[in-house]
Protein backbone atom coordinates (compact mmCIF):
# COMPACT_ATOMS: atom_id res chain seq x y z
CA UNK A 1 0.00 0.00 0.00
CA UNK A 2 1.18 3.54 -0.62
CA UNK A 3 2.40 5.34 2.46
CA UNK A 4 -0.09 7.88 3.78
CA UNK A 5 1.02 11.36 4.72
CA UNK A 6 0.11 10.73 8.36
CA UNK A 7 2.33 7.64 8.57
CA UNK A 8 5.19 9.42 6.81
CA UNK A 9 5.01 12.37 9.20
CA UNK A 10 4.66 10.17 12.29
CA UNK A 11 7.53 7.90 11.28
CA UNK A 12 9.61 10.75 9.78
CA UNK A 13 9.90 8.82 6.53
CA UNK A 14 11.56 11.57 4.52
CA UNK A 15 13.06 8.90 2.32
CA UNK A 16 9.70 7.81 0.85
CA UNK A 17 7.22 9.39 -1.56
CA UNK A 18 3.53 9.61 -0.73
CA UNK A 19 0.35 11.21 -2.00
CA UNK A 20 -2.59 13.05 -0.47
CA UNK A 21 -6.12 13.50 -1.72
CA UNK A 22 -7.00 17.02 -0.64
CA UNK A 23 -10.05 19.23 -1.08
CA UNK A 24 -8.66 22.65 -2.04
CA UNK A 25 -9.87 25.92 -3.46
CA UNK A 26 -8.85 26.81 -7.01
CA UNK A 27 -8.03 30.30 -8.29
CA UNK A 28 -11.73 30.93 -9.04
CA UNK A 29 -12.87 30.20 -5.48
CA UNK A 30 -14.30 26.77 -6.35
CA UNK A 31 -13.36 23.69 -4.37
CA UNK A 32 -12.02 20.54 -5.99
CA UNK A 33 -10.10 17.41 -5.12
CA UNK A 34 -6.38 17.32 -5.86
CA UNK A 35 -3.93 14.46 -5.63
CA UNK A 36 -0.64 15.87 -4.34
CA UNK A 37 2.68 14.05 -4.63
CA UNK A 38 4.89 14.67 -1.60
CA UNK A 39 8.65 14.39 -1.20
CA UNK A 40 9.00 14.24 -4.98
CA UNK A 41 10.22 17.59 -6.33
CA UNK A 42 11.59 16.52 -9.70
CA UNK A 43 10.74 18.97 -12.49
CA UNK A 44 10.56 16.13 -15.04
CA UNK A 45 8.35 13.96 -12.82
CA UNK A 46 5.50 13.89 -15.34
CA UNK A 47 7.74 12.14 -17.89
CA UNK A 48 8.89 9.53 -15.38
CA UNK A 49 5.37 8.95 -14.05
CA UNK A 50 3.87 8.74 -17.54
CA UNK A 51 6.47 6.10 -18.39
CA UNK A 52 5.63 4.13 -15.24
CA UNK A 53 1.91 4.21 -16.02
CA UNK A 54 2.64 3.09 -19.60
CA UNK A 55 4.73 0.17 -18.33
CA UNK A 56 1.75 -0.87 -16.20
CA UNK A 57 -0.46 -0.94 -19.30
CA UNK A 58 -2.18 2.44 -19.07
CA UNK A 59 -2.62 4.57 -22.18
CA UNK A 60 -1.03 7.95 -21.39
CA UNK A 61 -1.23 10.71 -24.01
CA UNK A 62 0.22 14.20 -23.59
CA UNK A 63 -2.31 16.65 -25.04
CA UNK A 64 -0.68 19.98 -24.19
CA UNK A 65 2.12 21.52 -22.15
CA UNK A 66 2.27 25.07 -20.81
CA UNK A 67 5.34 26.51 -19.10
CA UNK A 68 4.42 29.47 -16.90
CA UNK A 69 6.73 31.50 -14.68
CA UNK A 70 6.49 29.38 -11.52
CA UNK A 71 4.22 26.58 -12.74
CA UNK A 72 4.34 23.95 -15.43
CA UNK A 73 1.11 22.37 -16.61
CA UNK A 74 0.62 19.12 -18.51
CA UNK A 75 -2.80 18.37 -19.98
CA UNK A 76 -2.88 14.63 -20.54
CA UNK A 77 -5.20 11.69 -20.70
CA UNK A 78 -4.82 8.36 -18.98
CA UNK A 79 -7.07 5.64 -20.36
CA UNK A 80 -9.17 8.37 -22.08
CA UNK A 81 -9.68 10.35 -18.85
CA UNK A 82 -8.46 13.95 -19.24
CA UNK A 83 -6.35 15.27 -16.37
CA UNK A 84 -4.14 18.20 -15.47
CA UNK A 85 -0.74 17.76 -13.84
CA UNK A 86 0.70 20.85 -12.15
CA UNK A 87 4.28 21.36 -11.01
CA UNK A 88 5.08 24.42 -8.91
CA UNK A 89 8.80 24.95 -8.55
CA UNK A 90 8.91 26.87 -5.27
CA UNK A 91 8.23 25.17 -3.07
CA UNK A 92 8.47 22.16 -5.35
CA UNK A 93 5.31 20.07 -5.43
CA UNK A 94 3.03 18.29 -7.89
CA UNK A 95 -0.70 17.91 -7.95
CA UNK A 96 -2.96 16.10 -10.38
CA UNK A 97 -6.67 16.61 -11.00
CA UNK A 98 -9.22 15.02 -13.34
CA UNK A 99 -10.80 17.60 -15.66
CA UNK A 100 -14.22 16.08 -15.11
CA UNK A 101 -14.49 15.64 -11.35
CA UNK A 102 -16.90 12.77 -10.85
CA UNK A 103 -16.67 10.17 -8.11
CA UNK A 104 -15.83 7.57 -10.76
CA UNK A 105 -12.95 9.66 -12.14
CA UNK A 106 -11.65 10.45 -8.66
CA UNK A 107 -11.65 6.73 -7.82
CA UNK A 108 -9.83 5.90 -11.07
CA UNK A 109 -7.23 8.60 -10.54
CA UNK A 110 -6.68 7.49 -6.95
CA UNK A 111 -6.06 3.93 -8.17
CA UNK A 112 -3.56 5.26 -10.73
CA UNK A 113 -1.85 7.27 -7.98
CA UNK A 114 -1.54 4.22 -5.72
CA UNK A 115 0.17 2.24 -8.47
CA UNK A 116 2.43 5.18 -9.25
CA UNK A 117 3.50 5.79 -5.63
CA UNK A 118 4.13 2.08 -5.06
CA UNK A 119 6.43 1.96 -8.08
CA UNK A 120 8.17 5.24 -7.20
CA UNK A 121 8.92 3.90 -3.72
CA UNK A 122 10.21 0.66 -5.23
CA UNK A 123 12.72 2.59 -7.33
CA UNK A 124 13.62 4.74 -4.30
CA UNK A 125 14.41 1.55 -2.34
CA UNK A 126 16.51 0.33 -5.28
CA UNK A 127 18.37 3.69 -5.21
CA UNK A 128 17.36 4.57 -8.79
CA UNK A 129 15.93 7.93 -7.65
CA UNK A 130 16.11 9.91 -4.44
CA UNK A 131 13.04 11.55 -2.93
CA UNK A 132 13.19 15.22 -2.01
Measured CA to CA, the distance from residue 115 to residue 99 in angstroms comes to 20
Domain enclosing residue 70, as ranges: 5-125
Task: Look at residue 132 and tell me if it is in a domain.
Answer: no
Mean pLDDT by 10 residues, the chain (132 residues): 52 68 84 86 88 97 94 96 92 89 95 94 86 74
pLDDT on residue 11:
55
Task: Look at residue 47 and tell me if it is in a domain.
Answer: yes
pLDDT on residue 23:
87
Task: Look at residue 14 and tell me if it is in a domain.
Answer: yes
- The predicted model scores a pTM of 0.83
Domain count, the chain: 1
Task: Look at residue 65 and tell me if it is in a domain.
Answer: yes
φ, ψ (nearest 5 deg) of residue 6:
-60, -45
Amino acid sequence: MPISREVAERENLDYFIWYDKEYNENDKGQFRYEFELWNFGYEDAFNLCGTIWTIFGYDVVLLDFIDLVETQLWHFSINDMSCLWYFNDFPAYHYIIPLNETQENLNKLEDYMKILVNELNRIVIEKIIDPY
